[in-house]
Amino acid sequence: MNAIISAAELADELAGSNPPVLLDVRWQLGGPKLRTEYEKAHLQGAVFVDLDSELAGPAGDGGRHPLPDLEVFGAAMRAAGVCADRDVVVYDGGLGWAAARAWWLLRWTGHPSVRVLDGGLAAWDGPLTDKIPEPFPGTFAPAPGTLPLLDADGAAALARSGLLLDARAAERYRGDVEPIDPVGGHIPGAVSAPTTENVTESGRFRPAADLADRFESLGATGATEVGVYCGSGVSGAHQVLALAVAGIPAALYVGSWSEWSRDGDRPVATGPDPQ
Distances from the Cα of 88 to the Cα of 200, 214, 236, 262, angstroms? 24, 28, 21, 35
Query: 55 near 234, Cβ under 8 Å?
Result: no
In angstroms, how far is CA 250 from the centroid of its own chain? 12
CA–CA separation, 150 and 156 (whole Å):
9
DSSP-derived secondary structure letter, 199 = B
Amino acid at position 261, single letter: S
3-state helix vs strand vs coil in the chain, percent to 5 = 30, 15, 55
**Antiparallel, parallel or unpaired: β 191-192 and 226-229:** unpaired
CA–CA separation, 127 and 108 (whole Å):
32
In the set 21, 106, 116, 230, the catalytic residue is 230
Is position 230 annotated as part of the catalytic site? yes
Q: How many CA atoms lie within 13 A of 68 on its CB side?
A: 25
Angle at 171 between CA 166 and CA 176, to 5 degrees: 120
Helix (H) or strand (E) holding 192: strand 191-192
Residues known to be catalytic = 230
